[in-house]
Amino acid sequence: MEYEICLEPSGIRFMADEHQNIVEAAKQHGISIKHGCASGSCGDCKGTILSGASEQGPFMPLLLLPTERAAGMAILCKLYPRSDLRLHAEVVRKDTWKTEITQLTPLAWNVLELRLRPERPYPYRTGQYARIAIPGRPDQWRSYSMATPPGTTGELVFHIRELPGGIFSQWLFHTAQRGDALILGAAQGEFALSPDNDRDMLCIAAGTGLAPIEAMIQESIALGRTRPIHLFYGARKRADFYHLEELTRWSQQYPHITITSTLSDRQDASWTGAHRLLPTVAASGHWKDHEVYLCGSPGMIEAAIDLLLSHDVRHDHIHFDAFAPNG
């Protein structure tokens, strides 16, 4: 069964099958609704149902607060039409930026630092991510968080993990070279430092989830802020860690920054630090009055949210970016 979807305020109309989510159906008609993961993990496709019937599929907890649900908000990449629908939804600007790879630097056995020079200034806020078109597959994009605040060097910096069989990461690790061109879409995402409060910050990062958190810490240092920051940084194996020296240097240089690195691998006898990310967070302090920033895999984030809510952290103090596979 097909239904007509009308997007406001653009007035764009298209048909969607009952088995197609709104983001996917729009894409089939050449319309790009703002989205990130396309799998219910990031919240970037939030819209509002103005009229009509629909079915909401499952998505990551906390993407919609109860008040947002009550106001008719929905996660459009998991929303299926059950009648004609009128939706408030952001249609993405078609802007793209041509960039050139200036540097590819190994950070760990499976993580590369990618530096790109955009042909014109690329506006973004610290904590946001860029969508990068896969070379040779212009209809396929992957999302990567900027690892430095804007304006640091004129270059865009990313930390990218190699995934077995991953289309973009395999190209980057094994084919890409300095001078290669990459196309970026406009920066996206709501994961950002809230400027309107001075609550102590609890940051939890796993793997390359360190990228946007590092950018936030760098920004806070550059602005001369002394708001206490406690970063817990987790990896599976010791060889997976990167930037440990930089993080240690920051914690030595700035008394308001505390870093705890944790390892899941209990077999590594040479590791004298903490084991297991979330149990270490739980055992290390009272987080009830902290502003919390989480970044890493969707599984880690879901578990962290459960833990924090059970420790009485308010849900509107929890901010997260889930590095979900492209849906």
Q: Residue 244 phi/psi, 5° resolution?
A: -60, -35
How many residues make up the chain in this entry?
327
| DSSP designation for 188 | B
Q: Minimum CB separation from ligand FAD for residue 3, in Å?
A: 28
Residue choice 80, 129, 232, 242 for contact with ligand FAD (CB under 6 A): 129
Burial label for 284, CB within 10 Å (0-12, 13-18, 19+), is middle
Q: Minimum CB separation from ligand FES for residue 298, in Å?
A: 10
Q: Minimum CB separation from ligand FAD for residue 157, in Å?
A: 10
Interface map 193-232 toward ligand FAD (x if CB under 6 A): ---------------x--x---------------------
Residue choice 3, 20, 36, 298 for contact with ligand FES (CB under 6 A): 36
Residue choice 75, 132, 202, 204 for contact with ligand FES (CB under 6 A): 75
Residue choice 23, 42, 133, 235 for contact with ligand FAD (CB under 6 A): 42
Task: Report if residue 143 touches ligand FAD, rule: CB under 6 A.
Answer: yes
Q: Residue 102 phi/psi, 5° resolution?
A: -105, -25
Q: At what angle do helices 277-284 and 298-310 cross, to 10 degrees?
A: 20
Task: Report if residue 243 touches ligand FAD, rule: CB under 6 A.
Answer: no
Q: What are the tokens at 220?
A: 């806070």
For the chain, the distance separating the N- and C-terminal CA atoms, rounded to the nearest angstrom, is: 23
Binding to ligand FES, residues 214-273 (CB under 6 A): none
Angle at CA of residue 189, ends 139 and 263, nearest 5°: 100
Would you tell me which residues interact with ligand FES (CB under 6 A)? 35-38, 40-45, 59, 75, 77
